[in-house]
Structure 1
Amino acid sequence: MVATYIEASDGDWADVRAERMRRQRLVGEPFATPPDVVDLLGAVQAQEYVDAGWALAQRSAGEVTAADVGALVGSGELLRTHVLRPTWHFVRPADARWMLELTGPRVIRTMGSAWRATGLDDPAELTNVLDAVADALADGDHLTRKDLAERLEQRGVDTAKRISFITLRAELERVVISGAPQGKQQTFAAFDDRVPASAPLDHDEAVARLAGRYLLGHGPATPHDLSWWGGITVGDARRGFEACGAASFEREGLTYWGVGGFDSQARSTSGGDGLGSHLLPPYDEYLISYKNRQVVDASEDFVREPMEGIFFWGLATDDGRVVGGWKWPRPKRKADPVVLTLTMLVPTPADLRERFAHQADRFSRYLGQPVELTLEEPA
């Protein structure tokens, strides 16, 4: 599945932006800790590991660092695995099992060509491989992908050019999940060692739970948004909204759903910078968790055309609307500063530059490295 960015339509989206940012705690009172962020949002996309930690830090109280997030993954308070869609997410241990039971089979079906290309479509071969993976981790070890591949080879499993698909399938089949990092290397551990046992949910109950969690942390949203985010059908998403007690309202020809007292008739009075300015990481939940992105569109104010692929960069938002993109190539040495290049699509007055400089300073504290901000203004 590919989320689409659509052209803006006339309409007042200020109240929807404000409510989403409030629910995600990008404004207002922050979450107490990063695990609290993941608890309420249900899952947080973590394709880029360090950047995903920055998403948690921005929503948490205090000065959360990348090292803090790594410690939480190490202790198992946060888990990182393929769930919802064929990409990594942070999830809480209590949610990993039922979410994978719900979404894993659908992800497996959508990746049929990958399994055929790697021989993992053959039931006997798949059973042999998964049994070998379970055996390799049976003593409680946390292994890097390289170390796991070596143990599988010792057990007669060919890992050449397919170890990443083996670990992915093992995650989806609930055989492995993230272990404690070894330096900068991520590891795999036995699923049952890190995830508590729980009674299975039937399909409808799991869909209703997923829908309710999604709206609590992301609403208001449409069934198509939940279908994209959660890897379920649009019909299931709609039934999930109904089952969790959500209320619907119409906006610009679409049906949105919300929970917890959102007033669809209210209008934001926040003003031009009432929702603040943020440097959101690539794949941040504020953007990636919705198939329809018109709520955050600021193209009517763009002075330059967006660069190709900008919506896969880190995104700069002001008052909840996308006004630029940013990148930060990893420095080769720890002592070298991070050069953060912010490319603006709109004019940047002094007060807006100051707010983004403040965000860059906060990012520096998160990384534990100096950050040099370069701001590229539109011509």
Structure 2
Amino acid sequence: MGGADDGVRYIGGAERRARLALRHRLAPTARARTPEEVADALLALHGSDPATVYLAVGARLADPSVTVPETDRALYRDRTLVRMHGMRHTVFVFPAGRTAVVHASTGLTVAARERASLLKDMAKAGAPDAAWLKEVEESTLAVLGRLGQATAAELTREEPRLREQFVHSAGKSYEGVHSVSTRLLRVLGVEGKVVRGRPLGSWTSSQFRWALAPEHRELDPAAAQAELLRHWLTACGPATEADLKWWTGWRVTDVRRALAAIGARAVSLDEGTGYVVEGDVEPVAAPQESWAALLPALDPTAMGWQARDWYLAPELRPALFDRSGNVGPTVWWNGRVVGTWAQRGDGEVVWRVAAGGDVGRDAEALIAGEAERLRGWLGETRVTPRFRTAGEKELVG
């Protein structure tokens, strides 16, 4: 499909890649000064793998040497960035000013399901009832208020009832034993009552402390969905209904209502009808300079859309994605994914352009420069993606 139809403007892959370069702060002239600017531009940074947050920020900063101290400042001192549960049960890092929008638009629905599931599983196992769980919850929040931040182990020392265990899915092949602390802290997270705090160890550690969530106003869910969609389309538009449904995890009726509420404009894409925010229909020119980027596993740009052919050739996917659909480290050239990269045990950042993806010497020089840039600010730190992919493991091996 292509071209305009009935006055609806066609936006092709080349223009979508130009928008991506500029709005996702990847072209050198578009790079940001602070982690807050990066998060604001992208709306959300994937936080399932702690290292992804820092690597995604570093790839977009004009001065990547400040990546770790400045991201630490934003997350843990100034708390201008907040790590919390968001869309699709996933942990993200959001600008603090958008936590209320995320909570009302997405968190409330997920939270209701999570609490109901916990109570159902506890009842089936003969564990204590909802009143008991409420007491434990209130006590846990009081402990966090007193301590400021605490690990799950520290919380269980203060509130021993968190150690209670119950059997989940008894008699089934996936039967397991859950502790109240694990399940309850997850529920409190999606309910917007607690957030992830400073990790134990370095910025690559996945062992987090918990902290009380910053206070935020309660918003109307429909209005919050419209606001979230407006921010996302500003960063990632154009996108199809399928892209929006996938990214948000909402029902298609919620997506359509939010699109109508913000007055989104329809455009023609190779995939079909897409949408942009009002006032964003005019052409966007590509950056004057060519650009390269090494983006981490789960980077929000690589994971931003459900339909990806306009920036990622289908034949590259087996090497770049794991079986659950998590993307690994990616090498970008002028808005397209052209290969993968990895860090070896000696600290060297190695990369490879996919077979058949000859990009030319100029591109290879820029990619090599980005690899050296990344190696420079990583220093002695070693990073292994939480979700390994075939391409990344092959490079390391």
Q: Give the letter for the 2:216 counterpart.
A: A
What is the number of residues matched between the two proteins?
350
Q: Report what 2:259 is aligned to.
A: 241
Distance 1:364 1:114 in 2: 44
Query: C-alpha deviations, 1:5-54, integer Å up to 9, x for none?
Result: xxxxxx94111121123211212422331112222332221111112211
Alignment match of 1:344 (pick from 350, 354, 369): 354
Match of 2:33 in 1: 32
Structure-1 residue corresponding to 2:6? none
Contact 1:140/1:190 (<8 A) preserved: no
Task: Check if 1:315 corresponds to 2:330.
Answer: yes
Partner of 2:299: 284
Measured at CA, do residues 343 and 152 of structure 1 come closer, stay the same or move farther in structure 2, by a change above 3 Å? Answer: farther
Give the 3 Å change call, closer, same or farther, for CA 269–81 of structure 1 in structure 2.
Answer: closer
User: Superposed, which structure 2 residues align to 1:61-72 within 5 Å?
Assistant: 61-63=62-64, 64-72=66-74
Q: Could you tell me how far apart the structure 1 residues matched to 2:143 and 2:234 are?
A: 39
Change (3 A) 1:114 1:316: farther
CA drift at 1:109: 5.6
2:189 counterpart letter in structure 1: E
Is 2:160 aligned against 1:141? no
Any idea what the Cα deviations from partners look like across 1:264-306, whole Å, max 9, x if unmatched? Answer: 6x486679xx65221111111112121211221335xx6x884
CA contact (8 A) 1:360 1:371 kept: no
Does residue 164 of structure 2 align to residue 158 of structure 1?
A: yes
Of 216, 229, 248, the match for 1:197: 216
Offset at residue 62 of structure 1 (A):
2.0
- Change in Cα spacing, 1:178 to 1:249, as seen in structure 2 (3 Å) is same
Q: 1:65 is paired with a residue of what secondary structure?
A: helix
Shift of 1:367: 1.8
2:83 aligns to what? 80
Mapped partners of 1:147, 1:298: distance in 2: 47
Aligned to 2:103: 100
Distance 1:156 1:166, change over 3 A: closer
1:54 aligns with 2:55: yes
CA–CA distance in structure 2, aligned partners of residues 20 and 95 of structure 1: 22
Q: Normalized against structure 1, the TM-score is what?
A: 0.80
Query: What is the one-letter code of the residue matched to 1:23?
Result: R
Quick one: distance in 1 between partners of 2:284 and 2:232? Answer: 23
Decide whether aligned partners of structure 1 residues 253 and 36 sit closer, same or farther in structure 2, where only a CA change above 3 A counts.
closer
CA contact (8 A) 1:50 1:66 kept: no
- CA contact under 8 A between 2:105 and 2:228: conserved in structure 1? no
- TM-score, normalization by structure 2: 0.77
Aligned 8 A contact 1:130 1:175 in 2: no
Give, in whole Å, the separation in 2 of the partners of 1:110 and 1:314. 33
TM superposition shift of 1:178: 2.1
Question: Post-superposition shift, 1:89?
Answer: 0.3
Contact 1:94 1:196 in 2 (8 A): no
Check whether the contact 1:177–1:190 (CA below 8 A) recurs between aligned residues: yes
Deviation at 1:118, TM superposition (A): 5.3
Q: For residue 302 of structure 2, give the secondary structure of its aligned residue in structure 1.
A: helix
Equivalent residue of 2:159, what SS? Answer: helix
Structure 1 residues 360 and 164 mapped into 2: Cα distance closer, same or farther (>3 Å)? farther
C-alpha change, 1:290 and 1:305, in structure 2 (3 Å) is closer
Q: Measure, in 2, the Cα distance between the counterparts of 1:104 and 1:222.
A: 23
Where do 5+ consecutive residues of structure 2 fail to align?
A: 1-10, 166-176, 384-390
Secondary structure at the counterpart of residue 341 of structure 2:
strand
Find out whether 1:21 has 2:21 as its counterpart.
yes
8 A Cα contact 1:132 1:157, kept in partner: no
- Residue 251 of structure 1 aligns with an amino acid whose one-letter code is L
- What is the match of residue 6 of structure 1? none
- Percent identity, aligned pairs only, is 25
- Alignment partners' CA distance in 1, 2:317 and 2:22: 29
The residue identity in structure 2 corresponding to 1:225 is D
Q: CA RMSD in A?
A: 3.3
CA contact (8 A) 2:149 2:210 kept: yes
